Structure 1
Amino acid sequence: MSQNSPKIYDAVILGASGFTGKYVVREALKFLNAPNSPLKSLALAGRSPARLAEALKWAAGGDSPPNIPLLTADTTDPNSLSRIAAQAKIILNCVGPFRLYGQPVVSACVDAGCDYLDISGEPEFMERMEALYHEEAVEKGALVVSACGFDSVPAEIGLLFHSRQWAGPAAPNRVEACLSLESDKKVVLNFGTYESAVLGVANADKLVELRRSRPKRARPTIPGPTHAKGSLIEHQKQLGLWALKLPSADSVVVRRTLATLTENPHGLPGANETANDLKKREAFWSSVKPAHFGVKLGSKSLFGLFPYIMLGIFIGLLCRVALGRWLLLKFPSFFSLGGFKKEGPSKEEVESATFKMWFVGHGFSDASLASKGNKKPDTEVITRVAGPEVGYLATPIILIQCALVVLSNRGSLPRGGVFTPGIVFGPTDLQERLQENGISFDFISKNSISA
């Protein structure tokens, strides 16, 4: 099938029978052939048609499953990936860890001119795909966007929402996102996230090497001081939370978005954008004000942070040697004090969990104040993004809404290239779509603070 042949499927979900994949299928079925939905044809892909059939049956709930094609594809078989990329407008990749299995899928999509979204939260994978495939993706017209799940859309779209609350001459200097995971039961997180973290720390030197080998990116001009490191743990009284500083993929993705925006102050032109699209895009980006950005994990009690501190210590000590990595990946529940389990959370644990991501911004009531000596910020703005459980509910909602934006508005998006979600989806209606599907964006407060 040539690159210009008509595509058979609007979307193909790859890895549809995995822990997260089956939840993505469940979310996609809500929009398949629904009124005003651009999703008219869907296929599921994976190594085992029998497991795909089981996942489809599970996703359909009590209903008899719809007649959806089940395609055999394996990340170790490039020909199988080329076949599905040739047939799809967009592939939604749920097969991680992406550092191990993601590159062949990106390669097949770029070669076929097929759009690609994934739920990776792995900085080295994302930056390596940009280094290897960006230019070819531009040429072939393939839009490649990683981190279209809980990592990193709430942080990206949440920060863009937050920055637009600094109206007029006001400007932020620093925004800290504080993530609070809440549940009536025990919070149990996605094992894939744990596995990616272990492999990421184990290969941290490769990320450093990759960045050194690439040209320096532009940095945005941010009024006021560059931020001091601050303490590892602090009490954020205004939120009623204890906060632990995190090495987060969200921070890396946000920095890449702000770098792209600095290089393209009006955002990225759409492949076939209308005059109205152009006007909307330029107006959106002119309202966004960059800021230094960091992520913290919040807990109502200091003791609640203890499991995460211990996990960080274990990963730091053990993941540099093969035996240590084996132990970490073999016994995740032991090292995370029950926070991560190989079999994932139960249905009840998923349904009872929620998240709140608080954005606490410090900046200036008038940006010109920042240039007058080393003046401290005098204004605080707080916003919040909130929604359901992060790994199996929020991530599928986000991924499917990103896909629907691509299918609905392809002409107003870049023709091709490897990008972050913020720079691609910022000016679209993604925030409104998320709000309609259970992820809220709220302005909380704006106050003067003593300088």
Structure 2
Amino acid sequence: MPRDLDIILFGATGFTGKHALPLIAKFAKTKTRNLAWGVAGRTEKKLKDLLEQCEKDTGTPLSDVPVIIADVENEKSLTEMAKKARIIVNCCGPYRFFGEPVVKACVEEGTHHVDVSGEPQYMERMQLKYNEKAREKGVYVISACGFDSIPSDLGLVFLQKKFDGTLNSVVTYMESWEEGQAVSGPAINYGTWESAVYGLAHAQELRALRKELFTTRLPSFKPKLQAKTVPHKSEHLEGWVLPFPGADRSVMKRSQRLFYEKDQKRPVQIETYFILKSFWSVFLISIFGMIFQFLAKFDFGRSLLLKYPEKFSAGFFSRQPPSEEKIEKARFSVTLFGEGWKEKLADVNDQYSTPPDKLISAKIKGSNPGYGATCVCLLLAAITVITEPEKMPSGGGVYPPGYAFANTSLIEQLNENEVTFDVLFEKDLSDSKH
């Protein structure tokens, strides 16, 4: 069925949506493509005012951009929205509460869907409930298309392609900082804090969900990558290393499972960390982390966390959105270190009898991870789904981004738009004591 629009940006007046708007105007119409797009949300006036302000800010004519009224609490409005476009870019979170009705409408109407969720329960539940129907409809539903988790998940895909041999394990280190003089105030929007509170509160759901979703265990490959759960110094980078609490590892593991089950590729073992420069920062984040974990278990504790985010995050989160100056100064990098063998074995399930003999490292970096890099990743992911269908996994489905975009040009597009992927070095370990 012909669609009026290629892309609809749903939730355009929200914090992420506002930052995505000027980018969709930029990416939709270039020398090589001319995509029709619109905006959707609950309030027509707010949407039109937003378009008018964006036109003033960017100089791009936007008066003819279609405005669609849609509400996550109105199923009919979501169905009508989904019928109008080839893909919905969903910026309405937390996705635990607001994501599924949009996914359902998209799958039923044969419309692709991308979002920036970093919520494992939501993502894996959508895979369990909608994967088969999405395949029947030829629809792609892809979450984690922002800072969570394109840099890490596609970063691992990038590393695998650059590694001539067999990659056994990868360790990732995320760093973030402010360029120049630090600006006071919250760094991340309240919606991310809300997602984290409810995600931790319902973390126990994941065990049962994964038992149903992943009915078979992956084989155990040696040498086994050991997780480090206490703060420690890195042999590779400066600073103190802590386990990364975000969704990256779970998203990457889903991609690796798919590569193994569908493409007969050896799954890479993964551990994810983040780096802090001082032990004082480690101490503070450990204290706040323990308080957060305790309070998130109880209704009363969650209400405190949600009511007073500044007090329970040392000012990092707030009900007030971060300033534009703050987010524009933000920078990030994800550095990956992978070990494996130069030699390839005949069968994917074969075990090596010698220690890994090759090390490779790559870095993904960019600016404004929460809203700049995230929106670049999100919109280019959406555009890739509809412009490179022959390079997507055959038949549609509910996928993580690494597996979904492995054979597309998304990494090259990101490199052209300030989210860069670079190999740092390769090293022969065969002569080293290891």
Structure 2 counterparts to residues 20-169 of structure 1, below 5 A: 20-39=16-35, 41-60=36-55, 61-63=57-59, 65-66=61-62, 67-168=64-165
Residue 175 (structure 2) aligns with? 180
Determine if contact 2:257/2:267 at 8 Å carries over to the other structure: no
Residue 202 (structure 1) aligns with? 201
CA–CA separation in structure 2 for the residues paired with 1:290 and 1:133: 24
Residue 189 (structure 1) aligns with? 188
2:303 pairs with 1:326: yes
CA–CA separation in structure 2 for the residues paired with 1:231 and 1:83: 48
Q: CA deviation at 1:305?
A: 3.2
Determine if contact 2:27/2:380 at 8 Å carries over to the other structure: no
Residue 7 (structure 2) aligns with? 11
CA–CA separation in structure 2 for the residues paired with 1:343 and 1:88: 33
* Alignment length (residue pairs): 420
Give CA deviations for 1:227-285 in whole Å, capped at 9, x if unaligned: 2232421111432122111233111111111111111116xxxxxxxxxxxxxxxxxxx
Q: CA deviation at 1:62?
A: 5.0
Determine if contact 1:38/1:404 at 8 Å carries over to the other structure: no
CA–CA separation in structure 2 for the residues paired with 1:260 and 1:71: 36
Q: CA deviation at 1:79?
A: 0.2
Determine if contact 2:225/2:270 at 8 Å carries over to the other structure: no
2:218 alignment partner AA? R
Determine if contact 2:259/2:267 at 8 Å carries over to the other structure: no
1:246 alignment partner AA? F
Relative distance call for 1:320 and 1:49 in structure 2 (3 A) is same
- What's the % identity of the aligned pairs? 34
Q: CA deviation at 1:107?
A: 0.5
Which region of structure 1 is more displaced relative to structure 2, 209-218 or 197-206? 209-218
Q: TM-score, normalised by structure 2?
A: 0.91
Determine if contact 2:153/2:401 at 8 Å carries over to the other structure: yes
1:398 maps to which of 377, 388, 393: 377
Which region of structure 1 is more displaced relative to structure 2, 234-243 or 174-183? 234-243
Q: CA deviation at 1:193?
A: 2.0
Residue 271 (structure 1) aligns with? none
Q: TM-score, normalised by structure 1?
A: 0.88
Residue 363 (structure 2) aligns with? 384
2:422 pairs with 1:442: yes
Q: CA deviation at 1:366?
A: 4.5
2:352 alignment partner AA? S
Residue 327 (structure 2) aligns with? 350
Relative distance call for 1:220 and 1:92 in structure 2 (3 A) is farther
Relative distance call for 1:163 and 1:412 in structure 2 (3 A) is closer
CA–CA separation in structure 2 for the residues paired with 1:345 and 1:364: 45
Give CA deviations for 1:18-64 in whole Å, capped at 9, x if unaligned: 0011111111011233221242x111111111221233234331536
Determine if contact 1:37/1:404 at 8 Å carries over to the other structure: no
Relative distance call for 1:363 and 1:308 in structure 2 (3 A) is farther
2:306 alignment partner AA? L
List gaps (5 residues or longer) in structure 1: 267-285
Which region of structure 1 is more displaced relative to structure 2, 102-111 or 412-421? 412-421
1:330 alignment partner AA? K
CA–CA separation in structure 1 for the residues paired with 2:256 and 2:60: 46
Which region of structure 1 is more displaced relative to structure 2, 316-325 or 190-199? 190-199
Determine if contact 2:189/2:320 at 8 Å carries over to the other structure: no
CA–CA separation in structure 2 for the residues paired with 1:307 and 1:18: 31
Residue 299 (structure 1) aligns with? 276
CA–CA separation in structure 2 for the residues paired with 1:410 and 1:7: 16
CA–CA separation in structure 2 for the residues paired with 1:243 and 1:65: 47
CA–CA separation in structure 2 for the residues paired with 1:378 and 1:416: 38
Give CA deviations for 1:306-356 in whole Å, capped at 9, x if unaligned: 443233212210011111111111111111111112222211111111101
Runs of 4+ in 1 over 6 A off after TM superposition: 367-370
Structure 2 counterparts to residues 230-249 of structure 1, below 5 A: 230-249=228-247
2:59 alignment partner AA? D
Q: CA deviation at 1:367?
A: 6.2
CA–CA separation in structure 2 for the residues paired with 1:208 and 1:434: 34
1:422 maps to which of 402, 412, 418: 402
SS in 1 for 2:272: strand
Q: CA deviation at 1:411?
A: 3.6
Relative distance call for 1:323 and 1:251 in structure 2 (3 A) is same
CA–CA separation in structure 2 for the residues paired with 1:250 and 1:220: 21
CA–CA separation in structure 2 for the residues paired with 1:32 and 1:144: 20
Relative distance call for 1:366 and 1:411 in structure 2 (3 A) is closer
Give CA deviations for 1:86-140 in whole Å, capped at 9, x if unaligned: 1110000000010100000000000100000111111111111111111111112
2:31 alignment partner AA? P
Determine if contact 1:115/1:142 at 8 Å carries over to the other structure: yes
Determine if contact 1:49/1:71 at 8 Å carries over to the other structure: yes
Determine if contact 1:12/1:90 at 8 Å carries over to the other structure: yes
Determine if contact 2:25/2:60 at 8 Å carries over to the other structure: no
CA–CA separation in structure 1 for the residues paired with 2:283 and 2:45: 42
SS in 2 for 1:149: coil
